[in-house]
């Protein structure tokens, strides 16, 4: 009868370098060293990045609401600018200050929907000929992309920005810098510049297809397990 494997004592370090990654057993893989479960809940809320998120959300939503009332192009342009710039700044502040938290990631995801939905509503009023591609964009952004973005909560990672440790392809399709640009700003710019709604509609359909494929892929990870695809 073979002896049971010896367990390391408390004084002996565990060698986790080559430990395989399994569902429910994913180590926090933030390369900056952030530990998503190490901070108290209060310290996750009261951070500078969350303050930036709150300020840019209030400002963008207020300007978009004013733009909707007055049907103002400059106001909606300012709302989009605050939304996009603020979205970059809160993420940058979180990384520089080492204040990335799961609460902050969820707050950012929900705030993006608040800003984007109202800004796009103004564009629909200003460009009713683009209503169909913009409506399709809102459907995928508010439902499909929201569900996909929140799926990171199934694993102990800090935010979707680190989804590459779960599934690299899904990360590249949705949260790499080029994917983020295409997901929102590219369609809005195309709507403003395109002579026909067919071009933004084609882009909206392509992005929606990517979101559906990504959701199906993520939904199967529970059985297949995450990997470094």
The model carries a pTM of: 0.78
The pLDDT of residue 46: 87
Q: How many domains does the chain have?
A: 2
Other beta carbons within 10 Å of 80 = 25
The pLDDT of residue 182: 84
The pLDDT of residue 24: 35
114 and 144, same domain (yes or no): no
Tokens of 164: 């590459």
180 and 208, same domain (yes or no): yes
Parent domain of 77 = 36-126
49 and 105, same domain (yes or no): yes
Could you say which residues of the chain have pLDDT below 50? 1-2, 11-39, 223-229
Q: Does residue 168 sit within a domain?
A: yes
Residue 110 CB partners (closer than 8 Å, separation 6+): none
- Contact, 121 vs 68, CB < 8 A? yes
Last residue of a domain, one of 126, 142, 174: 126
State the maximum Cα–Cα separation within the chain, in Å, rounded to a whole number: 83
State the DSSP code for 35: -
The pLDDT of residue 130: 94
222 and 148, same domain (yes or no): yes
Q: Does residue 29 sit within a domain?
A: no
The pLDDT of residue 9: 53
Distance CA 229, CA 224 (A): 12
The pLDDT of residue 171: 97
């Amino acid at each position: 009868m073979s002896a049971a494997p010896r367990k390391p004592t408390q004084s002996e370090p565990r060698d986790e370098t080559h430990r395989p990654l399994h569902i429910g057993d994913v180590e926090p893989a933030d390369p900056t060293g952030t530990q998503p479960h190490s901070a108290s809940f209060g310290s996750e809320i009261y951070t500078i990045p969350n303050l930036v998120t709150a300020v840019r959300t209030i400002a963008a939503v207020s300007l978009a609401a004013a733009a909707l009332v007055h049907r103002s192009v400059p106001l909606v342009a300012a709302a989009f600018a605050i939304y996009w710039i603020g979205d970059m700044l809160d993420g940058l502040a979180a990384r520089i200050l080492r204040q990335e938290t799961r609460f902050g990631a969820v707050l950012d995801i929900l705030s993006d929907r608040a800003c984007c939905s109202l800004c796009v509503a103004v564009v629909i009023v200003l460009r009713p000929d683009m209503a169909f591609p913009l409506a399709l964009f809102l459907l995928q952004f508010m439902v499909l992309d929201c569900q996909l973005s929140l799926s990171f909560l199934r694993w102990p990672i800090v935010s979707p920005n680190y989804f590459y440790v779960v599934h690299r392809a899904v990360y590249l399709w949705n949260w790499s810098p080029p994917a983020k640009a295409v997901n929102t700003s590219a369609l809005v710019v195309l709507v403003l510049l395109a002579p026909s709604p067919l071009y933004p509609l084609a882009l909206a359909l392509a992005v929606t297809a990517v979101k559906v494929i990504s959701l199906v892929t993520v939904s199967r990870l529970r059985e297949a397990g995450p990997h470094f695809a």
